[in-house]
Amino acid sequence: MAFLSDALARIKPSATLVVTQKARDLKNQGRDVISLSVGEPDFETPEHIKEAAIAAIKRGETRYPPVPGILPLREAIVRKFKRENNLDYKISQILVGTGGKHVLFNALMATVNFGDEVIIPAPYWVSYPEMVSVAGGTPVLIETTMEHNFKLQPDVLEKAITPKTKWVILNSPSNPSGAAYTHDEMKKLTDVLLRHPNVWVMTDDIYEHLTYGDFKFVTPAQVEPELYDRTLTINGVSKAYAMTGWRIGYAAGPEKLIKAMDMLQGQQTSGACTIAQWAAVEALEGPQEHLEVFKKAFQRRRDLVVSMLNQCKYLKCPTPEGAFYVYPSLADAMGKTTPSGKVLETDEDFVSELLEAEGVAAVHGSAFGLGPYMRVSYATSDAVLEDACMRIQRFCASLK
């Protein structure tokens, strides 16, 4: 009898975490390594949020919280959705979890049966298909193209839907491509979904506040109110408020789904950390001035990285609308040879040789379901990004 669960055979480790750990190990060995693999802001959590957490500790907010979240946070989330997305939810439609990943996982575990299909546009965040597989479902991976700015096209979505389709997962702005859907682009997708009443929409809006220029963020239930009763809108405080380690994510959706997720969470982790929840109340309700600071810095960094990568021999780097990643094509570098004699046959070869030769850690695009590309995070200082991009330019110039 096998000791480990069969479910483990259906998943693989997170490639982003593997690359990040490899870069960390090389640094510990004394190597000069720049890691562009981490998906978190380099900014500090704003002071007023830290102070709210300290105040919560001093008030003794240290007991077990309600499973779906403390009432003040759920009320703040209701107000957030109304204020920022024009979506009306009741308290009973809100669930708080230990990070956005936890909420996504609970939603899939609460709804997916063996044989159910979940449509996921590629490139995708590495955890989406693994979560579907653990739940016993079948990830249906749809490749997008750089020509369409890595956005799912309505006709392709229509063809992918079958009687077994339970969910479509949308992530806008996207990790790893940074692509974000305009109102018109989102409306074309929701028009398709209206024709398929058996299909639900899971939307991961974690990068909502990190869009650049004149881009206006939209979420599916806002664009098409008729989808409200079969949309789970997921968000959190990690990216926009530099609170990755606080581990607070949340979801809003139909009461029957939230109740099912609540029951599952009650047998799994119970409520999220009380101190982090009180900090999240302040994040959503307190001053928001830091958002403009974050956005200006990220837009400047994006423009720097896109410009420098497009000066690299063999690379093509589109300009994304949001998040803090770029997703350059490595297609023209495939088949080239490094000075050490290694022939680059895959994007994984490229990033492995880049790390070895120049000490720059990025994540290969095939880990996100679409190669040959790589994901570069620009959530670090301008000086570090300039150094890293110069190293990438040098590496690309060395290829024959």
DSSP one-letter code for 46: P
247 and 327 housed in the same domain: no
Higher-confidence residue of 218 and 30: namely 218
For the record, the structure tokens of 13 come out as: 């480790």
For residue 82, report the phi and psi dihedrals to the nearest 5 degrees: -70, -45
Q: What is the mean pLDDT of the chain?
A: 96
Domain membership flag for residue 170: yes
Provide the pLDDT for residue 24: 83
* Integer Cα distance of 13 and 365 in angstroms: 15
74 and 21 housed in the same domain: no
212 and 87 housed in the same domain: yes
236 and 372 housed in the same domain: no
Of the three residues 254, 285, 316, the one that is the final residue of a domain is 285
268 and 339 housed in the same domain: no
Higher-confidence residue of 11 and 395: namely 395
What would the pLDDT profile of 146-165 be if each residue is shown by its tens digit?
Answer: 999 999 999 999 999 999 99
The dihedral built from the CA positions of residue 151, 156, 160 and 166, taken in this order, carries a sign that is: positive
What would the pLDDT profile of 326-375 be if each residue is shown by its tens digit?
Answer: 999 999 999 999 999 999 999 999 999 999 999 999 999 999 999 999 99
For the record, the structure tokens of 307 come out as: 């410009």
Domain membership flag for residue 55: no
In this prediction, residue 27 has a pLDDT band, given cuts at 50, 70 and 90, of: confident
What would the pLDDT profile of 188-228 be if each residue is shown by its tens digit?
Answer: 999 999 999 999 999 999 999 999 999 999 999 999 999 99
0.85 surpassed by pTM: yes
Of the three residues 285, 304, 331, the one that is the final residue of a domain is 285
At 95, which CATH number?
3.40.640.10
226 and 85 housed in the same domain: yes
Full domain range(s) for residue 333: 6-44+290-398
Does residue 386 carry a pLDDT above 90?
Answer: yes
205 and 239 housed in the same domain: yes
Domain membership flag for residue 54: no
178: left (phi over 0), alpha (psi -120 to 50) or beta: left
81 and 216 housed in the same domain: yes
Tell which residue, 362, 353, 281, 284, has the closest CA to residue 328: 362
CA 397 to chain centre: 32
Percentage of the chain beyond pLDDT 70 is: 100
Domain membership flag for residue 307: yes
What would the pLDDT profile of 111-134 be if each residue is shown by its tens digit?
Answer: 999 999 999 999 999 999 999 999
Domain membership flag for residue 132: yes
Domain membership flag for residue 49: no
If one counts the domains in the chain, the total is 2
306 and 391 housed in the same domain: yes
DSSP one-letter code for 286: S
Report, as an integer, the average pLDDT of 271-290: 98
129 and 277 housed in the same domain: yes
Domain membership flag for residue 68: yes
Q: Which residues lie across from 375 on neighbouring strands?
A: 363
At 352, which CATH number?
3.90.1150.10
92 and 153 housed in the same domain: yes
Of the three residues 248, 270, 285, the one that is the final residue of a domain is 285
For the record, the structure tokens of 361 come out as: 């850690």
107 and 72 housed in the same domain: yes
The dihedral built from the CA positions of residue 273, 275, 276 and 281, taken in this order, carries a sign that is: positive
What would the pLDDT profile of 227-243 be if each residue is shown by its tens digit?
Answer: 999 999 999 999 999 99
